[in-house]
Amino acid sequence: MSLTPTRDYLNATSLKSEMAAFSSPAANPELSPIPKVGDHFPESDQLPQLQSLNNSNRPVIITFLRHCGCPFAEKAFQSFRSLSDAHPDTTFIAVSHSNQEDTEEWVVSVGGTGDVEIVIDPERTLYAKWGLGFSSYWANMGPMTLWKALKLGSDELIYNRPTKSGYRWQTAGSFAVDVDGTVKWAYVSGNAPDIAKFEDGLKAVGKGKKRRVRKSQDARRSQEVRKSQEVRKSQEVKEGSEVKESQEVKEGQEVKENLEAAKRQSQEEVHASSPSNAAFTV
């Protein structure tokens, strides 16, 4: 997935989609119990990575995001991606219930996928299989949640982004599945700011020690995105200046031509009214 934003994400949404994120669907998929530690993972064709655990010999850490645009989902995804870069011996899967296009655009806007595999589940059937339904208004919009959202923005410059698809009420959850298909760690967020500690999931499948990474890939991705945005903004300013300059030249030329035309007309009128050109009738 490219790290270059395809368009200005912050200006590409509508009030209608924002309001839709606060609604609830007409029908919800049937909710299964949340998998407990020791359970076999919920079977689904949407997660073929879990069907070949023995062959890959790689445990899986899977996180179900709240919705694309949520600042807490962004914070969680950044942490998740950072661990995926440091643990190539583990499969990291992030599930989104926003649609394909909006998810891809959001992922680009927050720095790219890294080594995380993205699974799209707009019908939320996977969420339901793993026991993740909707949470309460208080858990998502309570004063503590709003205060933590403001603090996340002031401390880490992670702010709410437009929610172009998906639901703000969706509960987040994360799980670790060992190579034998056993759930070794499960964490369901109690409210929007409640972000799982993915390191605990890695420890549960015996992958707790992080490799040292020479340079933060998250920081590098952020720099690439920021540089791309600055270049694009500079180009827009340059193009705007060129258009303005061209318009000024054109307007100046038109003024000059109008003055010359007025001058010629005045000369013709003076010439026509002179005695030498008067018509006499005898």
pLDDT tens column, 95-153: 999 999 999 999 999 999 899 999 999 999 999 999 998 876 666 677 787 787 888 88
Write down the domain spans for the chain. 10-213, 215-271
Q: What pLDDT, on the 0 to 100 scale, is given for residue 185?
A: 97
Query: Would you say residue 278 has pLDDT above 70?
Result: no
Q: Which helix (H) or strand (E) holds 240?
A: helix 217-273
DSSP of 138-150, one letter per residue? Answer: HHHHSHHHHHHHH
DSSP of 17-53, one letter per residue? Answer: HHHHTTS--SS-PPPPPPPPTTSBPPP-TT-GGGGGH
223 half-sphere exposure, CB direction, 13 A CA radius: 6
**Each residue of 75-93: pLDDT tens digit?**
999 999 999 999 999 999 9
Which amino acid is residue 28, in one-letter code? N
Q: Is 282 helix (H, G, I), strand (E, B) or coil?
A: coil
Cα separation, 176 vs 208, in Å, equals 12
Give the rounded percent of residues in the chain with a pLDDT score beyond 70. 71
Q: What pLDDT, on the 0 to 100 scale, is given for residue 36?
A: 95
What CATH number belongs to 10-213? 3.40.30.10
pTM of the predicted protein model: 0.66
Measured between alpha carbons, how far apart are the two ends of the chain, in Å?
94
Pairing of strands 173-177, 60-64: antiparallel
